[in-house]
Structures are given as structure tokens and as C-alpha cells.
Structure 1
Amino acid sequence: MIICCGEALIDMVQVLSDSGQTSYAPLVGGAIFNTAIGLGRLGIEVGIVSGVSNDLFGQQLHDALVVSKVDTSYLVRSNLPTTLAFVSLDAGHASYTFYDENSAGRSFQVTHVPNLFDVQRGIKSCNALYFGGISLINEPAADAYCSIAQKYANDMVIVLDPNIRTNFISNDQTYRQRLQHIIDVADIIKVSNEDLDWLVGGAIPEQQQVHLLRGKNKAIVIVTKGAEGATAYLTAGEVVHQDVPKVCVVDTVGAGDTFSAGLLAKLVSLNLMSKTALANISRTELLESLAYATQVAAVNVSRQGANPPWLSDLKV
């Protein structure tokens, strides 16, 4: 099992009403939620640790997880409101404005963290934890998720996709330090080229950026670059690149999250979801995983909002 740790929220996406006026449709979302949904739809055993409201939006999130075969038994439910993300689209590219004060997700605390080795809860076989998104920005939730990553880093594969939203960061230094704590223990770090520029600066070549990001860690680093594809950097200095399929892009909401789901799903199917296997992954195996991830993400961007594909939606 893979457990996704972080936010589940509602994306308020602009739509045109029947009268031609702009309105907002509440669609389930959140970086961590999207990846969990994507994994479930691809047939991977997956659960989610997150703070979710009892309000109508929280119920919408819960029901969507169930439909996509995500284990919801680790959700921490409360009467606090659901986080809202208002989505603006410019030529299909999404930007976000978050409303997250005193929300169920942001209020998640370390005392809520379940024992991920609890046999009675049925996840003794959990072998990977996935982190990222806005849930790593603000306390107390951000510190709780960081604690989970550090607690289980010796026993489980740790995957990080920071999915940085600069307009939501209130304390740059604290956020960078928290990300660094997870980077230091991560086995896979997936970043967009914009994330990479923000993390280490954009005035140097990409390979040098990756070296600075990785530091002393030996993580696999994957850089996604939108229409320019994705490049993976192995510890030994090897580099592999995968182009993306050509599709008609509706919007990019959830594209990176769906890419992550596809990547992890293929790694599971290749029996590579362990620290030892990832440390010895071949170029061929990594390229196959990247190809599948781009295929999965291509389906998502051809639809409105974050809507990862089911296995039946993929061309065999």
C-alpha cells in the first residue's frame, strides 16, 4: 500500500453558466488528494492521511475517495471548514488562491497521526509514503506531516512532490527548512521546473540545480517541464528523458499530481517500490515508469479539472 499524506480540498473552478456568466463549480482536489485518487483508479492499493471536514464539501471529498477505491479509514474528521482553492485559468494554465484559515486540513496535528504499522488497521504492508502540496506550508499540519516522513524514513519509501504555491507561503525560511527535512530522507523527489527554480535558483543548468537540491541524499530526482516532458536524474549521474504525448489540453489542473500517480503505479507494477529496488533501478525501468506517468497525465489534461484516468481509459 501507498499512503498519501496531505491536503484534500475543493477546487472552485470557473465555468460559464447557461446565461453566459462566469460562475464557480466545486470540484474535489488538492495535490495529495489528486494523487491518491489517481493511484486508486490505476488499481493500486492506496490510503490517505488527511484532515477532512464534516461539512458538505468534506462529505464530497470522502465520497470521491471511496468511489476511486482509496482507503478513507485514516481521515481525521472535524467540524472545521473545508479548504477552498479558487482556480484561475490563463490559456489552460492554472493559478490558485487559497482560503485555508482554521480549516480541517490545516488543523491536522501530530497527535492525530495514526500508527502506520498497526496490524489491526490492515496496513502492515504499507511500503511507501507520499508528501507535498500546500499541506507542508502552514502549521500545525505541516509539522505533523514532516514528523511522519522522518518517523518512517528508515522503513518506507518516502516520495516528495512539493508542488510549490508561492502566493500561499507565509514564512519562506520555515517552509524551506521543513522541505529540506523531507528532502534529506526522500527516495524520490519529483519537482516541476518552476519548483526547482524556486528551491535552488534558476540561473544555473538543470543538472546543477538537481545536484544542489539533492545534496548528500541519493534520491531519484524527476523534473517535469510541461509540454517539454520529464527528465529523471539517477544518483550515479545517469539521465533519462521522456517526451509527452500530444493531446488537446483543456487545462493543467492536477496534471503534476496525476503524473506522480502514474509514476508510482508503474513502479509498483514493476516491483520497484522498495528502498533497495529504487537504489538499483535501471534506465530502462525508469524510462518505462516515466512513459506511463506522461501517458496518465496526458489523459488528465485533456479533461476539465483534476480528473485522473481509470485503467480502462488508457490505451493499451
Structure 2
Amino acid sequence: EHGAIISFDPNLRPPLWSDLNEAREQMKAGCALCDFLKIEDEELKFMTGKETIEEGVKELQDNYKIKMILVTSGPKGAQVYCNGHHVYKDAFLNRNTCDTTGAGDTFCGVCLSYLCDTPFQEFDEEKLADMLVHANAAASIVTTRIGALKSMPTMEEVDQYIETFKQP
């Protein structure tokens, strides 16, 4: 009612639900309220019943008014759908990965940070690609650290990390 951006990350954990149909319904309820959705590819499949990411996202777009849909696929990268644009970026794979706790939350946090600086309607393919690169890099950094609370990198660390992956 007051113009706040509502974000939603279903973060499905099946052992925590006595009824997975209820979990699905709660996920749908969250989608009905949010502007920004971060969802893992398997959660998308579970919620929509669709086999591919493209079909699942279309199902969401046809049924909800979500302005930005981010689909993460762990080491297979991430993609975003916003303003009629679709952008995919590879993950930053790191040999030093030791704990994936917090990677999805870090990814989501970087994307939300971008939303603090840029209104939805101003996201074009370039801005979406930049956001995904930074979110993927930050998530990769987190996987090289133990735990979640003190593992979040600064944006300066993320920028330096991205530079190390650039080709000479």
C-alpha cells in the first residue's frame, strides 16, 4: 500500500513441512504478494510442476505480477527475468569451496542491494547482467568461508574477485 518492495525467497526445506502440498500453497501465496522473487530451479519445478526453467517462469509470469524473477541453479549459474529481458550468467566456480551455507542469501542480498539503487523499470539487459555477475561472485566468495553470519563479502571484495576471473 505504501510502495514498499516486497521480496520473497521460498527457501523450501521439505523436512520442515508435514504436508508438501501446503508448502506449495504457501509458496504460491508468497508469489501473489511479491515484486521480487528469488527461487532455486528445483523449487521452481516443485511449485509450478513445469520441467524447464522457461516453462516455470512463464507459469509465474502468467499468474502473478512479479516484477523481477531470479532463478538460481547453484554451480550452473543464475538467470533473471525483468521488463521483458532474460539474462543468464555463469556461476563463478571456485576450487576452494568448503561450505555453501549462505550462498543463496548472499546472492539475493546483492540483487536487493541493486534494487535499492535502481527502480525496477530502469533495469535493462546491461544492468541485469551486472547485477547477476556481482551476485554470482559474492555467492562464490561465501562458499569459500565457513558459516554464514561473518562470511558476507564487501562489494570491494566482490569487484576484486570479478577482476581475477577476467581474461587477460
Equivalenced residue count is 156
Task: Pick the aligned partner of 1:250 from 88, 98, 101.
Answer: 98
Matched, 1:285 2:133: no
1:1-316 equivalent positions in 2, closer than 5 A: 154-203=2-51, 205-214=52-61, 215-236=63-84, 238-248=85-95, 249-268=97-116, 271-272=117-118, 277-306=119-148, 307-311=151-155, 313-316=157-160
Q: Which amino acid aligns with 1:257?
A: D
Q: Which amino acid aligns with 1:251?
A: D
Q: In structure 2, how many angstroms separate the alpha carbons of the residues matched to 1:202 and 1:287?
A: 25
Change (3 A) 1:158 1:294: same
Match of 1:148 in 2: none
- Whose radius of gyration is greater, 1 or 2? 1
- The alpha carbon displacement at 1:289 in A equals 0.9
Q: Which amino acid aligns with 1:181?
A: A
- The alpha carbon displacement at 1:245 in A equals 1.8
- The alpha carbon displacement at 1:166 in A equals 1.0
Q: Which amino acid aligns with 1:310?
A: T
Check the 8 A contact 2:31/2:64 in 1, yes or no. no
Q: Which has the higher strand share?
A: 1
Check the 8 A contact 1:266/1:292 in 2, yes or no. no
Match of 2:163 in 1: none
Q: In structure 2, how many angstroms separate the alpha carbons of the residues matched to 1:202 and 1:210?
A: 9
- The alpha carbon displacement at 1:202 in A equals 4.5
Q: Which amino acid aligns with 1:309?
A: P
Change (3 A) 1:160 1:218: closer
Q: In structure 2, how many angstroms separate the alpha carbons of the residues matched to 1:245 and 1:230?
A: 11
- The alpha carbon displacement at 1:235 in A equals 4.5
Q: Secondary structure at the match of 1:240?
A: strand
Check the 8 A contact 1:199/1:213 in 2, yes or no. no
- The alpha carbon displacement at 1:222 in A equals 0.8
Runs of 4+ displaced beyond 6 Å: none
Deviations 1:257-306 (A, max 9, x none): 111111122333xx21xxxx213421111111111111111110011222
Q: TM-score, with normalisation over the residues of structure 2? A: 0.82
Give identity over the alignment, percent.
Answer: 26
Deviations 1:225-249 (A, max 9, x none): 111110111242x210111223121
Q: TM-score, with normalisation over the residues of structure 1? A: 0.46
The unaligned stretches of length 5 or more in structure 1 are 1-151
